[in-house]
Amino acid sequence: MVVLGLETSCDETCAAVSDRHHNVLSSVVASSLPHHVPHGGVIPEIASRHHLESICFVVDEALKKSKKKPKDLEAIAVTQGPGLIGSLLVGISFARALGLGWRLPVVGVNHVRAHLYAAFIGQRGINFPFVGLVVSGGHTSLYRVHSLDHEELLGATRDDAAGEAFDKVAKILGLGYPGGPVVERWARQGRPQAFGFRCDCGPGFDFSFSGIKTAVLYQVQNLKKIYGRLSRATVADLCASFQEAVVSNLVAKAMRAAATSSSKILVVGGGVAFNNYLRERLQSAAALYKIKLCMAPKPYCLDNAAMVASLGSRLISAKGRKAALNLDTLGA
């Protein structure tokens, strides 16, 4: 099924076209990030205005790059939530209008599920059940996934999401926004054991990342009291030690969930899965514990519409699930 996907849940306006084999024919992303950077985080009003300004161009580009015409499309998939309400509404209203004009079914897709199923882009079949880990700026959750629309939540963050913790630590260190990529860069020059940071949230599958963010803050305040400022080596050590603690915690919990599951398959997606250190650690642990690891390819870890088109197409193929044209947001 040739599907046009739309994603506007946060600060990126995305459109993509996928074919019947879940291959991505085009994926276009227009980010409003530069407009948010001075504020140190995403400003919802700026994001939704940017979506309004960009969406026509982004959809045109996605169609052009895919070499498909509207008449070649068989469905439209759009992110229904969770996300910023004003931003979601732009994508949903646009999808509804296109569906009406081009006489196409419109299917709503859950953003968190789409991050997980990004691991299957380009693959026809999916082996259920599997354990799924979504690590993004808004979510850190472990699921036992039984089918396309049935998953059991094993655990989730009790406070900050992992990506949010990267963003906050970068802010504490004055490294800018978004924090993930910049903390990862600094961490490469630092020593992961320099500070004994730990993420601890008991033996279950829940996560907690706000304590480690506070531990970094107190460490920075103490060091500044003693030395006046942080040296580059100290910043690198702080980043490496923080990243080490977060990654170790994510890997340990995800591996334990997968190792105790029937299928021993672990699927990982979301913006933090872009992190090379996390990817390497997951790969070595999976080899050690004989877990089959499926990670979202790097181009489809951060927000994109290819993951929305691909999951939308699977949903329609499996269930014939068409949303009515009064499709609404699923809330934040």
- Which residues bind to ligand KG4, rule: CB under 6 A? 10, 115, 136-138, 163-164, 166-167, 178-181, 184, 270-272, 274-275, 302-303
Nearer to Zn ion, 285 or 311 (CB): 311
Nearer to ligand KG4, 136 or 219 (CB): 136
160 binds Zn ion (CB under 5 A): no
Nearer to ligand KG4, 158 or 264 (CB): 158
Q: Which two tokens stand for residue 107?
A: 């299917």
Nearer to Zn ion, 15 or 238 (CB): 15
Nearer to ligand KG4, 1 or 187 (CB): 187
Nearer to ligand KG4, 208 or 317 (CB): 208
Phi-psi region of 118 (alpha: psi -120 to 50; beta: other; left: phi over 0): alpha
Q: Which of 132, 88, 129 is nearest to 110 (CA)?
A: 88
Among ligand KG4, Zn ion, none, what binds residue 167 when CB lies within 5 to 8 Å by partner kind? Answer: ligand KG4
CB atoms near residue 290 (< 10 Å): 9
Among Zn ion, ligand KG4, none, what binds residue 274 when CB lies within 5 to 8 Å by partner kind? Answer: ligand KG4
| Binding residue count for Zn ion, defined by CB under 5 A | 2
7 binds Zn ion (CB under 5 A): no
Among ligand KG4, Zn ion, none, what binds residue 19 when CB lies within 5 to 8 Å by partner kind? Answer: none
93: Cβ contacts below 8 Å, ≥ 6 apart:
none
Distance in Å, CB of 50 to Zn ion, minimum: 16
Distance in Å, CB of 115 to ligand KG4, minimum: 6
Residues 274-313 that bind Zn ion (CB under 5 A): 303
Do the bridges between strand 265-269 and strand 130-135 make them parallel or antiparallel, or are there none, so unpaired? parallel
102: Cβ contacts below 8 Å, ≥ 6 apart:
70, 71, 73, 76
Among Zn ion, ligand KG4, none, what binds residue 82 when CB lies within 5 to 8 Å by partner kind? Answer: none
Distance in Å, CB of 79 to Zn ion, minimum: 9
Nearer to Zn ion, 160 or 303 (CB): 303
Nearer to ligand KG4, 116 or 145 (CB): 116
Q: Tell me the DSSP string of 109-159.
A: EEHHHHHHHGGGTT-S---SSEEEEEESSS-EEEEEEEETTEEEEEEEBSS
12 binds Zn ion (CB under 5 A): no
151 binds Zn ion (CB under 5 A): no
Distance between the two ends of the chain, CA-based, in angstroms? 29
Provide the mask over 80-119, with x wherever binding to Zn ion is found by CB under 5 A and - wherever it is not. ----------------------------------------
In the chain, alpha helices (H): 33-36, 44-66, 85-102, 111-117, 162-172, 179-187, 210-227, 232-259, 276-289, 306-319
Do the bridges between strand 24-31 and strand 75-81 make them parallel or antiparallel, or are there none, so unpaired? unpaired
Burial class from Cβ neighbours inside 10 Å (0-12, 13-18, 19+) for residue 17 reads buried
Among Zn ion, ligand KG4, none, what binds residue 179 when CB lies within 5 to 8 Å by partner kind? Answer: ligand KG4
Among 54, 80, 136, 241, which residue sits at the site for Zn ion (rule: CB under 5 A)? 136
Q: Round to whole Å and give the CA distance between 49 and 274.
A: 27
Contacts to Zn ion by CB under 5 A: 136, 303
